[in-house]
Amino acid sequence: MARMCDKSKVAFVSGSTSGIGKAIAEALAESGCNVAINGFGEPGAIELFRSQLQQKTGVRVGYFSADFGHPDQIRNALVQTRENLGPIDILVNNAGIQRVAPVHKFSESDWDEVIAVNLSAVFHASKAVLPSMMQRGWGRIVNIASVHGLVASIHKPAYIAAKHGVVGLTKQIAIEVAAQRITCNAICPAWVRTELMEKQIRDRMSQDNLTEEQVVDDMMAQKQPIGRFIDVSEIAALTLFLCSDDAGGITGSALPVDGGWTAQ
């Protein structure tokens, strides 16, 4: 892989101890960026990932704990990143959670939590890093939205509202800072086989008494014409491109990686 940036650049990736965020953190480190990882998990496993990625790539990799449902923790993690690794050049807002229920049964606490982590956190993190990016005249913000930032599905009211909000906020940030060589884009994946998706598959198997193959085949037939899950490496590769100088003219975009979902 060609090196995208020198070791003076710093990238912060929220929710990067597993799934999409982990793949993005790995790709950025391999490209030459110093990387701040963040997320939940067993402390020993997180430290092993951090140390192995640092040793493998030769860049600095730090772990900064924060629950992205709490603005003060977000700001603190970003301050710690700046103090330990340097000013943040690349922000990837990836942290997210899901709650599922019909609108009339959706709890208010679940609504508040999903909006806080999936939407408000994007605002708080972006607000925190933008002044430094503007001062230095370069920056990249990549928001991991969802195909559900473009279209709706049943039983996901808070998630869909949040992801539509992320797409709108992405556009708004982009036009405000375009003249300062800062870009802000959203990636909108369809179904990616992450830990969260594995749980949804298991729940569906139990609920409908189906095999894993039957559940996956039905999901693909409903929504995803390519007939397979999106791989985390595909999201990481697009993120890497959006963070490069070659993508300097792309901003305010919501880019689907959806296997044909929104083409139907």
Q: Among all residues, which ones are annotated catalytic?
A: 159
Per DSSP, the chain holds a count of helices (H) and strands (E) of: 9, 7
The secondary structure of residue 185, as a DSSP letter, is E
Q: CA–CA separation, 232 vs 87, rounded Å?
A: 27
Closest listed residue to residue 6, CA positions, set 59, 85, 82, 44 = 59
Q: Are strands 61-63 and 182-189 parallel, antiparallel or unpaired?
A: unpaired
- Pick the closest to residue 254 from 136, 100, 145 (CA basis): 145
The conformation of residue 230, written as its DSSP 8-state character, comes to B
Residues in the chain: 264
Nearest to 39 by CA among 53, 20, 59, 60: 20
Contact 258, 230 (CB under 8 A): yes
Task: Decide: 115 and 158 in contact? Cβ < 8 Å.
Answer: yes
CA distance 86 to 29: 15
Enter the DSSP assignment of 188. E
Residue 155 main-chain phi, psi, to 5 deg: 70, 20
